[in-house]
Chains A and B, each alone.
Chain A
Amino acid sequence: MVAPATDALVADLVAALAPDRVRTGAMELGLYRSDASTLPGTAGVVCFPLTTAEVRACVATAARHGRSFVARGSGTGLAGGAVPVVVDGLPPVVIVTTKMNQVLSVDVDERVAWVQPGVLNLDLTKAVTRHGLHFAPDPSSQQSCSIGGNVATNSGGPHCLASGVTSMHVLAVEVVLPDATVALLGGLDPEPAGYDLRGAFVGGEGTLGIATAIAVRLTPNPPSVRTLLLDFTSVDDGAATVSAIIAGGLVPAALEMMDALITRAVEEFVHAGFPLDAAAVLIVELDGLPAGVEAAVDRVTEIGLAHGARTVRVAADEAERAAIWKGRKNAFGAIARIKPNYYLHDTVVPRARLVEVLRQVYAIAERHDLIVMNVFHAGDGNLHPLLVFDAREPGVLDRVHAAGEEIVRASVAAGGVLSGEHGIGLEKRDFMALMFTPTDLETQGWMRAAFDPAGRANPTKVLPTGSSCGDLQHVPEGAWI
């Protein structure tokens, strides 16, 4: 058992922040020892700064006491990126940015907002809706995930197919670097001098510093939007339709797929009119100017029917469109009706190999006697196989781990990558060598070490042992691969 924090550390943090924003109670330490992954960690002390100066104080105080620090937003990450890992017997200082939740400014003309890291993704969009604008990255957790967290993981979402992931929507980041200095990375001008440190920082999973203010690009709401629901009697037909749509020169705003099990679970949950007997459904959203959108609706319909779509339903109004999206975005909630636990994977494969890799995913699950459901960003080739299970069943976790590893290996073998939007964190750290050579990993380690020479920022994450200068730890006992 490790001692969470010394009295001196806590006293220094209290002096820098305030007694009620430095927590050491069992409840807080328990709450902040994990994120939305199932990986366990140990929080030494939990801080809730309100300002950049307070974040600096937390980072500087941690360093003075020889502690590492772990920044976190809402803790919705699935790869264990925000799990505090004990280093040299010392649990980290956890720095929670959720109370830094102000939209600092909105420039409607130039479509830029400055936000604090704790602003929730959907709250920003709600704040600018009256100006006809939105924040494009829309992870399924957008009601609860923070923009600071989106920056850390370079989050995606269904609508990143056409508009791109978080990095493409971040212009500048004010960060507290691991040495407790403050720097502005990027800028509002298009080509700031120097290396693209902004681009390097986004997706750094909290290992390069802590974002304390973020300038994000706001996207004008499209003048015309059409949402289609296509249903298929085979998953292969659905996946082939996805490839054909992209090959046909169309870039839908979103192109999502749900297989039979998840479609039924969702329909029973939200009653959006999803066909209960479909093997797969596709949600295709097309947006832009009206003529282009209508032409694309016709083309998608034609491609779908040519590839075996049983029906193509175009949402008649905003209510019907909202119902379809409610179903998609609440898919993970619907799973609780089937089994109490799930493990969500996130890999990307070339779109043309979706059919083949999906077949392998089903075969892998069957071999391990597990239920798998697929609800994913098909247009990007971004798979999200969900293994559902009951953790009380003896031995089931071992099977889930084994199946998960096989899915990751199959994706990479098909020319894919380890993660499309959830990040590496702890979960996939030891898979990095599947995709990268030792030289590649060493080079990534150079960048990390330039940002964090002392190895204090969220150590043990992203890079496997030996590829960085820090003395990296092993994945905690009981952790999921």
Chain B
Amino acid sequence: MDLTAFAAEVGPLSAGPVAAAGGLTQWDVGGESTPGTRLVHAPAGIDWIEPAEMTVRCGAGTTVADLATALAEQGQRVALPEWPGATVGGVLAVGRSGIRRLGDGPVRDAVLQIGAVRADGEVVTAGGPTVKNVSGYDLCRLFVGSLGTLVLLGDVILRTRPLPAARQWLAGPTPDPFALRRRLDRPTTVLWDGTTCWVLLEGHPLDVAAEAALARADGLVEVEGAPPLPSGDRRSIPPAEVRHLRGRFVAEVGVGVVHRVAPVPGPQVAPNPSIIALHGRLRERFDPTGRLNPGRSVLTSG
């Protein structure tokens, strides 16, 4: 995708504070942009889908839903959360995964190549178009989750996967969702709210049926889909700590993302000074004048 127009919109260092806006579905992550920050929009649209390569190239402004629809026509999907209105660039800039993460992996692993605009308005390409690549530094992973503070995402090449032939949600009270997860072979999702467990099984219909039988033996029954997730607070904790959660929550077993209605006060762990220093040096190199999404803090976004 030609990023010339997007680069011109971002402008040179002298063009002042700028941030890329996607669907604004996670706009609060990392705090608010400094007032006066100009919003720019990355191009939208799908360049190509290569089903035989299992890759797709699209503008960062493309909505994940549009991408998912186009890929579904080819029997494929990407490991990006399909939040209504969310764009590919927005989801990658924030870096948070959806509830299929246990099976699909983190969003960063779906990215093969990123075209972006730097603070000085130059276009940079990171990564490569092939499904396997260790040519040079892995800037793509540095950019995913960087909240647009290092570069502004313009377009991406993503890895796709075949759509599963069958899928089934089950739910019910289970004494031990952790043991159930271990008994199942690579479930796509295991959610738990302290009493009820939800699982998503995907794959060959006979395998899904066999795995569903294991879940039923644990007291689960077929249901339509996932429970509504509380949206007031989202935490990332070591998955081993999920079993010790108390209060109202829905947790992603095996992953460690916890959804709550409201934040629960807890100890704040300050990052190690050398981590803070390294973040500072990265910001200094990539954005010496501090024009990219000023006001956002990646270190407090978790």
Contact = CB atoms under 8 A, between A and B. Distances in A.
A212 to B, nearest CB: 13
Interface string A453-464: 100000000110
Contacts of A352: 50, 52-53
Given A194-B271, A202-B138, A421-B132, A188 B109 contact: no
A19 interface: no
A340 interface: no
A418 interface: yes
Given A194-B279, A223-B185, A246-B52, A440 B125 contact: yes
A195 B136 contact: no
A291 B204 CA distance: 7
A350 B53 contact: yes
A183 B123 CA distance: 31
A478 interface: no
B229 to A, nearest CB: 15
A377 B257 CA distance: 35
Q: Of B131, B205, B284, which is in contact with the most chain A CB atoms at under 10 Å from its CB? A: B131
A381 interface: yes
B150 interface: yes
A380 B236 CA distance: 32
A179 to B, nearest CB: 8
A202 B138 CA distance: 8
B254 A416 contact: no
Interface string B197-230: 0000001111100110000000000000000000
Contacts of A292: 203-204, 206-207
Contact of B278 (A168, A192, A450): A450
Contact of A295 (B95, B204, B271): B204
B245 interface: no
A115 interface: no
A245 to B, nearest CB: 10
Interface string A269-307: 000000000000000000011111001000000000000
A91 interface: no
List of 5 A-B pairs having minimum Cβ-Cβ separation, nearest first: A199-B141, A193-B302, A291-B206, A292-B204, A247-B52
Given A189-B237, A289-B204, A415 B129 contact: yes
Interface string A436-453: 110111011011111101
A203 interface: yes
Kindly state the interface size class of chain A when it binds its partner. 35 or more
A141 B9 CA distance: 49
Contact of B135 (A246, A381, A382, A417): A417
A202 B141 CA distance: 10
Given A247-B51, A381-B131, A421-B132, A109 B178 contact: yes
A251 B161 contact: yes
Interface in A195-214: 195-200, 202-204
Contact of A289 (B150, B211, B237): B211
A480 to B, nearest CB: 17
B123 A439 contact: yes
Nearest to A177: B274
A202 B109 CA distance: 13
A246 B53 contact: yes
A220 B138 contact: no
Contacts of A179: 274
A348 B240 contact: no
Interface stretch (A1-9, A152-160, A318-326, A364-372): A152-160
Interface in B2-54: 50-54
A181 B281 CA distance: 15
A443 B118 contact: yes
Nearest to B116: A443
B132 A382 contact: yes
Interface in B103-134: 105-106, 108-109, 118, 122-126, 128-134
B261 interface: no
Contacts of A185: 275
Nearest to B54: A246
B84 interface: no
Contacts of B123: 439
Interface stretch (B58-66, B188-196, B293-301): B293-301
Given A199-B141, A202-B138, 18 more contacts: A156-B132, A190-B236, A191-B96, A191-B97, A191-B145, A196-B144, A198-B141, A289-B204, A292-B207, A349-B130, A381-B131, A416-B129, A422-B134, A435-B136, A440-B126, A441-B136, A447-B285, A450-B278
